[in-house]
Amino acid sequence: MSDIGKVRLRVPSSIKAGDVVQVRALVIHPMERIERDAQGKIVQKNYNYINKVIVTYLGKTVATFDTTQNVAENPFFTFTFKATDPGQLKVQFLDTTGGRYEGIADIKFS
């Protein structure tokens, strides 16, 4: 799938200074599940799934998600942050194969 790693961030259209803003972040990712062989034994391999999501705002970490394979395919995460100054909101997704995908939203006040 060539779409792997596509990140979409959804930020409210109008933000006022001091607001607590709720953001939805979506990433296209297969989040491979555990496979079993015919005997029911777990196949040992390096499964490709996202195990860390890091949210930074103005260079400071706001929230991190440590995830396991129990998160659905094309995972979507919701979180909040307090908008104090205009600046950059960055969401990074790290997967077990070393992949690193990121989405950036510019926070502006209106």
Partner 1 sequence: MTEDHRISRRTALITLSALGVAAAGGLAAMPGTAWAQALGQNESVEDAMKRLFGGKPMRDGAASVKLDVPLIAENGAVVPISVSVDSPMTPTNYVKHIYVVADKNRIPVVTRVTLSPEAGRAFMGANIRLGESGDVRAIVEQSDGSLLAVKREVKVTVGGCGG
Site residues (vs partner 1, CB under 8 A): 20-22, 24, 33-36, 42, 46, 51-52, 54, 56-57, 59-82, 92, 94, 96-100
Cα-only R_g, the chain = 16
Length of the chain: 110
Q: Which residue's CB is nearer to partner 1, number 66 or number 106?
A: 66
Quick one: tokens of 86? 């205009």
Closest separation in Å from C-beta 13 to partner 1? 19
Q: In terms of C-beta density within 10 A (0-12 exposed, 13-18 middle, 19 or more buried), how is residue 29 classed?
A: buried
Closest separation in Å from C-beta 16 to partner 1? 13
